[in-house]
Chains A and B, each alone.
Chain A
Amino acid sequence: MLPNWLIESETYAPPKDGGAFVVKTMKTIGMVLARLKVQRGHEKRHAIPAVIKFFLLVALVLLTSVTQNRLILLAMLALVQAYLAFWPAKDLASILKPALFASLLSVLIFAPAMIMHPQGIYNNLIVIAKVFVSVEMVNIFNHTTQWNHITTALRKLHIPSIFIFTLDITLKYIVLLGTVINDLLTSLHLRSVGKNHRKYQSVGGVMGVTFLRSVEMSQQMYEAMCCRGFTDDYKGL
């Protein structure tokens, strides 16, 4: 027998609630998942191997950071922009937006120093230009490299297999656990029909359940590995 309250149709005027954290988190994690699941960038077929590209990136970032020579910095800026000029327009935004954002943030952070200590402005501007070109370079790398190529490439470098194994699992489980969190938050969002007075319990619940699921999944994963003939030897992976 259904209880009476379930039979009556009720009029309901919900109270206001500033619970934006759920939607915000879903958005952030959704973006991460999209980034890891689908590669929107353009990786050419005969691209430079990921490892070489990574070392090149580190070398260039290091050079940018070390140099006090304006000519070198200008050369970096020019070369990177020249390279980007050959890119299709739709891909440019994903490089320039974070770079401009990071530079703008630096301008804000450095603003007090520039005002209080005007003699240092030139050096501060150099740092801001460095931030811009470094972020551009990292984003170019990200945009043109698939993450699974990075882990495959690391394997060839004889990096301890336990490290690569862990990195691989991390990337896979960010997607898996991210989906779990987003589903939990979706359900929480749909059932949040008024003012949630226990927001923090909800946060604890979502991340707590995710933790328990993650332990469960890792157990299952080990069992699945054993079923496929894994013998506790992480070196052979």
Chain B
Amino acid sequence: MHIPENYLAPATCGVMGAAMVPVWVHAVKKVGKELPKEKMPLLGVGAAFSFLAMMFNVPLVGGTTGHAVGGTLIALLFGPNAACIAVSIALLIQAVLFGDGGILAFGANCFNMAFILPFAGYYTYRLIVKLASKNQPAKSGIHYVAAAIGSYVGINLAAFFTAVEFGLQPLLFHDASGNALYCPYDLSVAIPSMMIPHLVVAGVVELVFTVVVYAFIRKVAPDMIYENILAQTEQEPKKHIPVFALIAVLIAATPLGLLATGTAWGEWGADEIAAVENAGKVLGYTPSGLANGWELNVLMPDYAVSGMNEIPAYILSAILGVALLVIIFKLISLPMKGRR
């Protein structure tokens, strides 16, 4: 579910990042209150655990494997706020050190996997446990059922948000002739192509992974689970309203923000193009070139790019060509060296 670089417009990335700021602030505040000082290192340890959980190959049918995100599991073990921070840090390390998920898309990835996923998963779990134990004391099995449903809901909701972010791209960011500048699939394609694999495969992987790990810990060391730590210290969080309000506001505001920046972006883009044109032929960018449409082989026909100023394009093409030749030559000579 990691969104790579350049699939989302920078403006979308900015909006998603901005939406995460209040979430992070809220989570840090909450964790500061919930976690005693001696548990502070636990956040980093939780992030490491989250990172490694995403690396784990969960067995599927017939020797195939899949990866889980584990957001709901982390929330069940460490609490949703700590999970939000832990998963965010895990995603940061993935993006910066391992190139998994874009650096600009970091905010969007956090929104889907560090915010929507653990919170939706955790509160679905809480709701089910609460409903089941309303009239009679809950059977122990209900926790596993709730964890299963919670993790399934969590990952699929996160996938849905990812799909919407993708699907809005062609609506918001396109050139004069209506061709998409980033992700080319609109909502009608993005939603089913994200949701079907998640409902059928990824959701099941997440569910299985969450339940088996959660069940083991519940059996072996139940006092290590967040819920039970809360019960022990009797600081049961009664008010979920601020969190829910926050989620509601964000869910309502984010698409609006996207739309707002989208139009602003479009105008800015148009101005920018005009400005470049007005500035003369310094950059030699002519928007008419866009409207004319492009053929497949026009990326660099005749070592120059049509619609560009000939000289810089020539120089750049030359640099690119020579550099590529050197790289290819080096790579070819590599196995020969090894043999010697």
Q: Does A107 contact B (CB under 8 A)?
A: no
Instruction: Evaluate contact between B209 and A71: CB separation under 8 angstroms.
Output: no
Q: Does B33 contact A (CB under 8 A)?
A: no
Q: How far is the CB of B301 from chain A (nearest CB, A)?
A: 12
Which bracket fits the contact residues of B?
35 or more
Contact A89:B333 (CB < 8 A) given known A28-B57, A170-B48, A222-B41: yes
| Measured CA separation A181–B96 after assembly (Å) | 23
Task: Choose, from B3-11, B109-117, B240-248, B250-258, the stretch at the interface.
Answer: B3-11
Chain A, 85-106, contact with B by CB distance < 8 Å: what is the 0/1 string? 1011110110010100010001
Q: Does A153 contact B (CB under 8 A)?
A: no
Which B residues are CB-close (under 8 A) to A93?
331, 334
Instruction: Evaluate contact between A211 and B49: CB separation under 8 angstroms.
Output: yes
Instruction: Evaluate contact between A85 and B322: CB separation under 8 angstroms.
Output: yes
Q: Does B59 contact A (CB under 8 A)?
A: yes
Inter-chain contact total with CB atoms closer than 8 Å: 298
Q: Does B324 contact A (CB under 8 A)?
A: yes
Q: How far is the CB of B275 from chain A (nearest CB, A)?
A: 12
Q: Does A11 contact B (CB under 8 A)?
A: no
Q: How far is the CB of A166 from chain B (nearest CB, A)?
A: 4
Contact A21:B59 (CB < 8 A) given known A162-B40, A212-B217: yes
Given A85-B323, A177-B49: 9 more A-B contacts, CB < 8 Å: A74-B317, A89-B333, A92-B331, A139-B99, A170-B48, A200-B208, A204-B216, A207-B56, A221-B45
Q: Which 8 A-B pairs have the closest CB atoms?
A: A169-B44, A204-B212, A18-B63, A208-B216, A122-B294, A173-B48, A81-B323, A89-B330
Binding site for B on A (CB under 8 A): 18-21, 24-25, 28-29, 32, 35-36, 54, 57-58, 61-62, 64-66, 68-71, 74-75, 77-79, 81-85, 87-90, 92-93, 96, 98, 102, 106, 110, 113, 117, 119-127, 129-131, 134-135, 138-139, 141-142, 147, 150, 162, 165-174, 176-178, 181, 199-201, 203-205, 207-212, 214-215, 217-219, 221-222, 225, 232, 234
